[in-house]
Amino acid sequence: MLGLGKRRRQLLFFSRGTGRGHAIVDAAIANELGRLEPKLDVAFVSYDVGAATLKDLGQDVIDLEFSDDKPFWETMLRIAPLLQGQHPALVVSHEEFCVPPLCKAFGLPVVSLADRFTNSDSPEMQALRYADRVICLGDRGVYDEPPCLAGEVTYLGCVIRLLECEGFDEAGSRHALGIPPEATVVLVCPGGSEMHSEACAPLFDLVLKAYDALGFEEKRLIWIAGLADHDSFVEKSAQRGDLMILKPHYNFIPTLMTCDLVISKGNLRVLLECEALRIPTISISSSPDALDDLRASRIQTNVALRAGG
């Protein structure tokens, strides 16, 4: 590990703030690091939904106070004095690509976590060259390794949060949600970023029409709705006893395991968790991100669809 000796040392962990996916995994990593290295103090740096998620998960967070479409150069101007002032023993950056070059300039050791690789000539991939170590939270061969990183990447395989739920009982969880034991349950997890909101990627009416066509006597539709969509969805479903609109919650695995099918807007984190739990999924992607769509199509328990089709 870090060879901390008797002194407490600080790890500064930059977590991408777009949506909840990065924050959930990063918090799980930080908790495991704390278990392995009790003398290590982890402080997160994030923004927007990611920062709020980390705070809800009980992590110490420095909020950069950006929206998820933050300007690149302004990000650098906020991060640079932070690195100088904190001067941590180690920096970890999960897809905040301006961090490795800044750490190299200030003489700080930095580990970069990457969920995927893109064009080798892109600024993001070039920035990874300045990391002391690059760790891919995925399997070798899913994405082409950039030639500039050849032989420098450590592959961990799929990394997800802890899925074991102590004292979990499916019947009890269904009862708590008011779901009959015999009901067929469809859960929709759109994702927490702005690009997954109903305004950017409408899905509610399409899914509701398909759900209504299901020929089960007992059925329930659960929708995890973010702040932008929650109130309007509650209003739409007010006259329906078989629709349940829930806010995002972090004891999420019991909710997930009560379901027979999960639908997402292509966000990979929930698809990978469902694969681990052997829960069938349908991803309906409106994103122009071909790499995420490719990865979703390779998940064994998922049927990958495009919203335009």
DSSP string, 8-64: -EEEEEEE--SSSHHHHHHHHHHHHHHHH-TTEEEEEEE-HHHHHHHHHTT--EEE-
Check pLDDT > 90 for residue 159: no
Q: pLDDT tens for residues 94-150?
A: 999 999 999 999 999 999 999 989 888 999 999 999 999 999 998 888 888 999 898
What tokens does 255 get? 């909710």
pTM of the model: 0.77
Provide the 8-state DSSP code for 149. Answer: G
Residue 246 has a CB neighbour count (10 Å cut-off) of 16
Range in 37-51, 211-225, 275-289 the model is least confident about: 275-289
The pLDDT assigned to 170 comes to: 76
Domain boundaries, the chain: 9-155, 170-306
Check pLDDT > 60 for residue 291: yes
Q: pLDDT tens for residues 23-66?
A: 989 999 999 999 999 889 999 999 998 999 999 889 999 999 98
The pLDDT assigned to 139 comes to: 87
- Give burial (CB, 10 Å; 0-12/13-18/19+) of 239: exposed
Q: Band the pLDDT of 1: cuts 50, 70, 90.
A: very low
Residue written as token pair 């001067």 = 87
CB 246 within 8 A of CB 255: yes
Please determine whether the domains at 9-155 and 170-306 fall in the same fold group of CATH.
Answer: yes
Q: pLDDT tens for residues 247-279?
A: 887 778 888 888 999 999 878 888 988 998 899
Say how far apart CA 102 and CA 104 lie, in whole Å.
5
The pLDDT assigned to 174 comes to: 87
| Helix (H/G/I), strand (E/B), else coil: 133 | strand
Provide the 8-state DSSP code for 145. Answer: P
Say how far apart CA 309 and CA 307 lie, in whole Å.
5
Q: pLDDT tens for residues 271-281?
A: 988 998 899 99
Say how far apart CA 253 and CA 250 lie, in whole Å.
8
The pLDDT assigned to 106 comes to: 95
Average pLDDT, the chain: 87
- CATH homologous superfamily for the domain 170-306: Glycogen Phosphorylase B; (3.40.50.2000)
Check pLDDT > 60 for residue 5: no
Sign of CA dihedral 233, 235, 236, 241: positive
Q: Which CATH class is domain 9-155?
A: alpha beta
Which amino acid appears at position 53 of this protein?
T
Find the mean pLDDT for residues 66-95.
Answer: 88
